[in-house]
Amino acid sequence: MKIQEATKRETLHIAAGTLAFSAVMNGVFALLGRWDLTVLWGTLLGGGFAVLNFFLLGLTVQKMAGDPNEKKASSCCSSRTACACWPRWPWWCWA
């Protein structure tokens, strides 16, 4: 499957925004004197997973929009949603 130009463009917008606000967050931590490597790792991992999640969401929507079979597209969406949600259950139970 070829990645559409809109998916690439919007993912780059999300990555740019994530990078900008991550820099602001790191700056605030540095100004408060609380910056350490855990802040950096949290920023890198959190931002990276956020951009990856958006990109995979864009691919799913692209795949569904290009499928003429509406029932199959709906099935794809629900299975992807279930796969995306099941890792969160331990955190929800723990919280």
pLDDT in tens, 10-52: 999 999 999 999 999 999 999 999 999 999 999 999 999 999 9
Q: DSSP H helical segments within 1-95, as ranges?
A: 5-31, 37-66, 70-85, 89-94
Residue 54 in any domain: the answer is yes
**Confidence (pTM):** 0.73
Per-residue confidence band for 95, with pLDDT thresholds at 50, 70 and 90: low
Please indicate, yes or no, if residue 47 is contained in any of the structural domains: yes
Side-chain-side CA neighbours of 54 within 13 Å: the count stands at 18
Range of the domain at 53: 5-86
**49 inside domain:** yes
Calculate ∠ Cα 18-81-47, nearest 5°: 15
In a domain, residue 34? The reply is yes
Q: Copy the structure tokens of residue 47.
A: 């931002």
Provide the number of structural domains found in the chain: 1
Q: What percentage of residues in the chain have a pLDDT greater than 70? A: 75
Cβ(1)–Cβ(63) below 8 Å: yes
